[in-house]
Amino acid sequence: MSNIIVTDRGFGDDDFTGAFADPEAGDISHAAGDALALGPETDPASLSGKLDGVTMIRVAFPSFSDGRGFSIARALRRMGYEGRLRAYGHVIADQYAMARRCGFDEVEIAPELAARQPQEQWLARAKNWRQNDYRARLAG
């Protein structure tokens, strides 16, 4: 069974058909039009000026207690990356709102996690993820 993609609409299938390149393994210029797979140790600054044509970036979360991926997502958005940004791995439903506020568009989880945390739990966090953003409260 393939992994499940979680969005604000709930569970869905992965519609991405491109290839993931690992920028740590060498030049990323061949990844234009495809996607990058980043580990939690990636320094987003190392990608500056190299993201043109990259349609998706998938950031790995090796455990739910490793929050480095949130910082990577925020840095990529601040650098101007506007493509699809996906959290991948051990992200739990309670972290969904934080993932969205940091700039992720979606979360990719294993079927085993989806069985333990059904769609309703994710949708509950997706419903008002913008309301708990401190910036929205300050601006309001």
pLDDT tens digits for range 117-137: 999 999 998 887 766 555 565
pTM of the shown model: 0.86
| Residues 19 and 46 sit within 8 Å (Cβ to Cβ) | no
Helix (H) or strand (E) segment spanning residue 35: strand 35-38
CA–CA dist 35, 106 (Å, integer): 14
Q: Which residues pair with 21 in a beta bridge?
A: 36
Q: What is the pLDDT of residues 65-116, one digit of tens each?
A: 898 999 999 999 999 999 999 999 999 999 999 999 999 999 999 999 999 9
Domains of the chain are: 4-139 (3.20.20.70)
